[in-house]
Amino acid sequence: MDFSAARLNMVESQLRTNRVVDSRLVEAMAAVPREAFLPAHLRAIAYVDEDIALGSGRFLMEPMVFARLVQSAQLTPCARVLLVGSGCGYGAAVLAHMGAHVTALESDAKIAAAARTACAANGAGAVATVEGPMESGWPAGAPYDVVLFEGGIGDLPPAFAAQMGEGGRLLAVVTPPERQGKATLWQKFAGSLTARTLFDAATPLLPGMAREPGFVF
């Protein structure tokens, strides 16, 4: 398979046609080999416009959704980024290619180990892949300019507000039970978060990130 041609087609047919115009982002996704972060049996579908199931309830996020979330982050040079649920490491490599200082948080030790290997082999060895519960974030690296969830969440865990710097931006696809997911942007001003919806997205939930069931009276 000609992966270079598939990568170019992804950029032209999935990104540019969906209002992805950030030149640094487009260049990064045209350069980082998405297939290199997948197990061998999935590489042939590396550039499909769908989430790719990796097993154990994990997915590689659809290119267009990932790109629009990153574009909405408005990354500045050398931004400090926390990537939550970083999975196979592809998203972290793209952000690092854009010049961000990336902390990639993963709850699964085996997945984290594979991501470290893939990042090191593909020019993103500076990504700091750390292990811990995703809902707790990574306070040791705070404050962050950008927090990005690489998968759906039911609600925003409360730990993240304190880990965002003033003016920081947090992005995730919020997926309530039995409802359409919504890509959402939170911004921190004067210590408080404000949220707004960006676009619809059917992104699978990260493990352990479903909304807690409410009480029934």
Indicate which CATH number applies to the domain containing 193. Answer: 3.40.50.150
Are 92 and 129 in contact, with CB atoms under 8 Å apart? yes
In a domain, 190, yes or no: yes
- Taking each helix axis as running N to C, give the angle between helix 90-97 and helix 109-121, from 0 to 180 degrees, rounded to the nearest 10: 40
In a domain, 56, yes or no: yes
214 falls within a domain: no
> CA 180 to CA 66: how far, in whole Å?
17
Count up the domains in the chain and report the number.
Answer: 1
Domain presence at residue 37: yes
Distance CA 1, CA 57 (A): 27
pLDDT digits (tens, 9 = 90+) for 10-65: 999 999 999 999 999 999 999 999 999 999 999 999 999 999 999 888 999 999 99
Does residue 54 fall inside a structural domain? yes
pLDDT tier for residue 217 given thresholds of 50, 70 and 90: very low
Does 208 fall in a domain?
A: no
19 found inside a domain: yes
Q: Which domain holds residue 71?
A: 3-200
3-state class of 213 per DSSP?
coil
CB-CB neighbours of 120 under 10 Å: 14
Report the pLDDT averaged over residues 107-131. 96
Distances (CA, A) of 174 to 30, 56, 156, 182, 193: 27, 21, 8, 5, 15
